[in-house]
Amino acid sequence: MITLDKKWEKLLECVDYAFQPIVNIYTGKTFAFEALIRDYEKAGFHSIDMIFDTAYSENVLYTLDLALREKAIRKFAQIPFFTGIKLFYNMDNRTTMMPDFKPGFTKKVLNDLAMPASSLCFELSEKHQSKIFAGVDNLVLNIYKQQGYRMAIDDFGVGYSGLQILYNAEPDFLKIDRFFIDGISQSKKKQLFVKSIIEIAQSLGIQTIAEGLETQEDLLTCKALGCNMVQGYFVQKPVKKIDKLKEKYTYIEQLHKSEQRRDSSFKDELKNKIQTLEHVYESSHLEEVFKIFQHTKESGIVPVLRDDSSCLGVIRESDLKEYTYSPYGRSLIYNITKGTVKTLISECGSVDINDSLEKILKIYSHKQNSDGVLVTKNEKYLGFLHAKVLLDIVNEKTILSARDQNPLTGLPGNIVINEYIASVTISGKKHALVYFDLDNFKPFNDYYGFRNGDRVIKLLGNILKKSLNNLPQDALAGHIGGDDFFLAWEMHKTYTFEMVYTFIKSIIDKFSLDVESFYNKEDREKGYIIAKNRDGNEEKFRLMTVSAAILIINPLAKKAIHEEGIALAYAKLKKHAKNINDNAVVYASLMGD
């Protein structure tokens, strides 16, 4: 190995490492700490890039990186609760191009500290292209993976060849660049990009990490999009003092618990159906798998775990038939060199126990001929959900959805609306609930016929559907019944009442303009129709409009707001709106008790 001169020795003396947590997006439990270089200025370097660029130009990059790597690992091992937590280390891709490059040194350091290889994750980026990403020469990556190290792609989404790197590197983790995460709650465009990235990762069995997270709103959006973990100032800033680090960031879990999931009944049913199947590890001998199948014949699969208890895949009993029936199959079982479980591992979707039903079903559907999905808790194996259980839930959910969905507008009905309102009452967050009621609909329906009346109902339903494109991720448009509609969403910090009012007024104006086409020319020009009122007497009725009752749910000090209180407030607003002219917008703010 190349000897470092005094300049580099001084750097190693001066630099320190800060750690920043990467946590489970549901529980707040620390999954890993990323090591970040600090105090390099004391050695005369102006930036981290300057350190590695200089070392590369002097052909000492690999030697320097090993020394820095050891420094980071040894400090990480001083964290009282480091066991079971991973260290994310940024590796300069160019180290593999150094003349003295030779894998194996890191393993010695880890062995010295009794740390498994799986506790170290190398972060790779496309900042410096090298042969490590070449499709025909990724030998280095394979060596690291075979030794048990985990791999992550850093800053994904900002380079020019990210998908190519993803294809060749086959990482365990994908870190979505902060460019896409910062302000994602306010940007539909960023949400679209991140959703696509997450869906690609899910289909490949890769876990996603949102980098640069700074606000609660962005965290909730990342969770809604299906992200697995988060990292950023909202969780904790990088700190050099290890006593400032936490094993669990409880406020992340509290945020999750405050949200009542709309599919809670299905989730409870799923949790009760999780089977804790006997498992093996990737280093286990194939003979162990045969023994499991001999005394447990129901499941037909055995989960395979890494040494850190994370899920790697499954072994199917059907895949062992070639061993059972082939002339040399039995002898192969007892061949230690060829009979390890690695030879028979099949891919299998993996989900977190806190994942939404929608996400669980999506991950299941990504794998063809899947037996089900592996279930984890805080990234460790928990059990298995069989395909039949998932399909039964899908069928039940489809039936309930069909029953609740309004056949005319296709919008969800009162079951979903009431569940949404229930979740609002315990969320402790500010929401806008808007109730719409058509003005002069009954006279129109009597005068022009129910078919045209149905067309008007569809018109308002479609306008509300399209309005969701301009609202936050959690927004809901629903059809209460008849000519009554519902629209609701969480009001993030930047959302003011004036913005709500302006948005609702635009919906009303859009409807008033479009609905004129449902009248004949003569009635449009007059601005009214003559029809019978509820007493059977003829009366002039102006062209249809829509009134809105805006109810701002504004909890104080996280005090509960009851569903009864919301229903009572809405009834009063609706009555008030009926006493005003058509096209009315009335509003009220409901505080916590």
Which tens digits make up the pLDDT trace of 565-583?
Answer: 677 777 777 777 666 666 6
pLDDT at 135: 46
Please list, residue by residue across 83-117, b when 16 or more beta carbons sit within 10 angstroms of its beta carbon and e when fewer do: ebbbbbbbbbbbbbbbeeeeeeebeebbeeeebeb
Mean pLDDT of 467-471: 91
Residues 304/279, Cβ–Cβ less than 8 Å:
yes
Residue bearing the bigger pLDDT, 489 or 425: 489
Structure tokens at 470: 């301009």
Question: Is the pLDDT score of 20 beyond 80?
Answer: yes
| DSSP H or E segment with residue 270 | helix 264-272
Question: Is the pLDDT score of 386 beyond 70?
Answer: yes
Question: Is the pLDDT score of 486 beyond 70?
Answer: yes
SS (H, E, C) 422-488: HHHHHHCCCEEEEEEEEECHHHHHHHHCHHHHHHHHHHHHHHHHHHHHHCCCCCEEEEEECCEEEEE
Specify the CATH number for the domain of residue 558: 3.30.70.270
CA distances from 32 to 21, 173, 240, 290, 461 (A): 6, 12, 15, 35, 46
Most confident of 334-338, 406-410, 585-589: 406-410
Mean pLDDT of 1-13: 83
Domain span at residue 358 reads 269-393
Task: Report the percentage of the chain scoring pLDDT > 90.
Answer: 47
Residue 1 lies in a domain: no
Cα of first residue to Cα of last residue in the chain, in angstroms, is 70
Residues 128/94, Cβ–Cβ less than 8 Å:
yes
Per 3-state DSSP, the chain is made up of helix, strand and coil in percentages (nearest 5) of 45, 20, 30
CB count within 10 Å of CB 536 equals 6
User: What is the C-alpha separation between 276 and 381, in angstroms, rounded?
Assistant: 9
User: What is the C-alpha separation between 357 and 365, in angstroms, rounded?
Assistant: 12
Question: Is the pLDDT score of 334 beyond 60?
Answer: no
User: What is the C-alpha separation between 86 and 123, in angstroms, rounded?
Assistant: 12
Residue 398 lies in a domain: no
323 Cβ neighbours under 8 A, 6+ residues apart: 286, 329, 330, 332, 333
pLDDT at 516: 94
Mean pLDDT of 85-100: 90
Residue 7 lies in a domain: no
Mean pLDDT of 68-92: 95
Ranges 59-63, 170-174, 321-325, 570-574: which has the least confidence: 321-325
What DSSP designation does 126 have?
Answer: S
At residue 4, the 3 state secondary structure works out as: coil
**pLDDT classification of 556: cutoffs 50, 70, 90:** low
pLDDT tens, 190-202? Answer: 999 999 999 999 8
Same-domain status, 102 and 48: yes
Same-domain status, 509 and 531: yes
Question: Is the pLDDT score of 454 beyond 90?
Answer: yes
User: What is the C-alpha separation between 570 and 139, in angstroms, rounded?
Assistant: 66
Same-domain status, 236 and 299: no
Residues 166/133, Cβ–Cβ less than 8 Å:
no
Question: Is the pLDDT score of 483 beyond 80?
Answer: yes
Mean pLDDT of 503-512: 94
Tokens 């001066």 correspond to 14
Residues 478/416, Cβ–Cβ less than 8 Å:
yes
Residue bearing the bigger pLDDT, 140 or 386: 386
Beta bridge partners of 88: 34, 121
Beta bridge partners of 549: 435, 586
- The dihedral of CA 74, 76, 82, 86: what is its sign? negative
Same-domain status, 453 and 503: yes
Question: Can you give the C-alpha Rg of the chain in angstroms?
Answer: 30
User: What is the C-alpha separation between 202 and 221, in angstroms, rounded?
Assistant: 17
User: What is the C-alpha separation between 148 and 151, in angstroms, rounded?
Assistant: 10
Q: Which of 339, 369, 393 is the last residue of a domain?
A: 393
Same-domain status, 293 and 330: yes
- Picking from 475, 458, 499, 490, the residue whose alpha carbon sits closest to that of residue 417 is 475
Specify the CATH number for the domain of residue 292: 3.10.580.10
Question: Is the pLDDT score of 338 beyond 70?
Answer: no
**What domain count does the chain have?**
3
Residue bearing the bigger pLDDT, 182 or 533: 182
Question: Is the pLDDT score of 132 beyond 70?
Answer: no
Residues 374/350, Cβ–Cβ less than 8 Å:
yes
Question: Is the pLDDT score of 247 beyond 50?
Answer: yes
Specify the CATH number for the domain of residue 217: 3.20.20.450
Q: Which of 232, 259, 286 is the last residue of a domain?
A: 259
Most confident of 451-460, 488-497, 540-549: 451-460
pLDDT tens, 44-72? Answer: 999 999 999 999 999 999 999 999 999 99
Mean pLDDT of 380-398: 85
Q: Could you tell me the pTM of the whole model?
A: 0.71
Same-domain status, 289 and 335: yes
At residue 22, the 3 state secondary structure works out as: strand
Most confident of 164-168, 205-209, 256-260, 572-576: 205-209
Ranges 292-296, 338-342, 486-490: which has the least confidence: 338-342
User: What is the C-alpha separation between 327 and 337, in angstroms, rounded?
Assistant: 19
Same-domain status, 309 and 209: no
Same-domain status, 204 and 280: no
Residue 75 lies in a domain: yes
Residue 4 lies in a domain: no
Question: Is the pLDDT score of 331 beyond 80?
Answer: no
Tokens 């919008």 correspond to 411
pLDDT at 452: 94
pLDDT at 557: 43
Question: Is the pLDDT score of 314 beyond 70?
Answer: yes
pLDDT at 87: 98
Same-domain status, 372 and 415: no
**pLDDT classification of 319: cutoffs 50, 70, 90:** confident
Most confident of 262-276, 425-439, 441-455: 441-455
> Count of alpha carbons within 13 Å of 273, Cβ hemisphere only?
18
User: What is the C-alpha separation between 443 and 455, in angstroms, rounded?
Assistant: 15
C-alpha triplet 107, 108, 114: angle, nearest 5°: 85
Q: Which of 393, 422, 439 is the last residue of a domain?
A: 393
Residue 426 lies in a domain: yes
Torsions phi, psi for 34 (to 5 deg): -90, 135
Structure tokens at 222: 């990342």
Mean pLDDT of 369-394: 88
**pLDDT classification of 130: cutoffs 50, 70, 90:** low
**pLDDT classification of 389: cutoffs 50, 70, 90:** confident
CB count within 10 Å of CB 282 equals 16
Residue bearing the bigger pLDDT, 138 or 550: 550
Beta bridge partners of 87: 33, 120
Residue bearing the bigger pLDDT, 357 or 260: 357
Mean pLDDT of the chain: 85
Same-domain status, 288 and 362: yes
Same-domain status, 429 and 466: yes
Same-domain status, 243 and 323: no
Residues 74/107, Cβ–Cβ less than 8 Å:
no
Mean pLDDT of 486-493: 88
Residues 435/549, Cβ–Cβ less than 8 Å:
yes
pLDDT at 273: 86
